[in-house]
Amino acid sequence: MPTSPSRQVRSLLKVAIAATLSLGAGIASASDLIVRYDQSQLLRLPRAISQVIIGNPSIADASVQGTNLIVVTGKTFGVTNIIALDKQGNVIQDQRVIVQRDDVRMVNLHKGSQRQSFTCAPNCTPTITIGDDKEFFETISAHSQKKTQFSSSESDSGGGGGQ
């Protein structure tokens, strides 16, 4: 007896879901450091760090805090690695870093082929995300830069807004 179209569709759907899950499982392993876009993660190492190398600095940034703590910040989506060396140049840790979106709080607005991104926690505000519509991205970037300049000029002058 031939298989009905609905059974074929269900079978194909099951295969597609299984393939997607197996691919997703292969993307990150337990030893990977998962960092959200525009957020930071702490990486504590067993001994003192002398030097930190980021494979692709456009994906993630790192700064050493204290003797054995690294702050890794996600700059754009992708996969890179971080290598921590001791004073003798020995590898303390070589770890893959995966920068991902925080999909729980992100909302995308699509207008035809154009995308605008918003962070909703709990109110939605525009956010700068790689791949957004060029005009939207530039507008939000300009606002963000003005905000950063304003806050850094206040902190440089003692801040507080007092008279």
Question: Sign (positive/negative) of CA torsion 81, 76, 103, 123?
Answer: positive
Does 17 map to a domain? no
The total of structural domains in the chain comes to 2
Arithmetic mean of pLDDT over the chain: 80
Edge to edge, the sheet with strand 124-126 lists 106-111, 114-120, 124-126
Residues 56, 95, single domain; the answer is yes
Q: Which residues of 36-64 are buried (b: 16+ CB within 10 A; e: fewer)?
A: bbbebbebebeeebeebebeeeebbbbeb
- pLDDT, residue 106, reads 83
Domain range enclosing 129: 106-150
Does residue 69 lie in a domain region? Answer: yes
Residue 93 falls inside a structural domain: yes
Assess whether 72 and 113 both reside in one domain: no
User: What is the DSSP track for 31-79?
Assistant: TSEEEEBT-EEEEE-SS--SEEEES-TTTEEEEEETTTEEEEEE-SSEE
Which of the listed residues 100, 119, 142 is the one where a domain comes to its end? 100
Question: Could you give the CA distance from residue 123 to residue 125 in angstroms, rounded to a whole number?
Answer: 7
pLDDT of residue 142 exceeding 80, the answer is: yes
Query: Is pLDDT at 69 greater than 50 in this prediction?
Result: yes
Average pLDDT of span 59-65: 94
Q: Does residue 138 fall inside a structural domain?
A: yes
Among candidates 76, 89, 87, 81, which has minimal Cα distance to 43? 81
Q: Could you tell me the pLDDT band of residue 24, with boundaries at 50, 70 and 90?
A: very low
Question: Which pLDDT does position 121 carry in this prediction?
Answer: 81
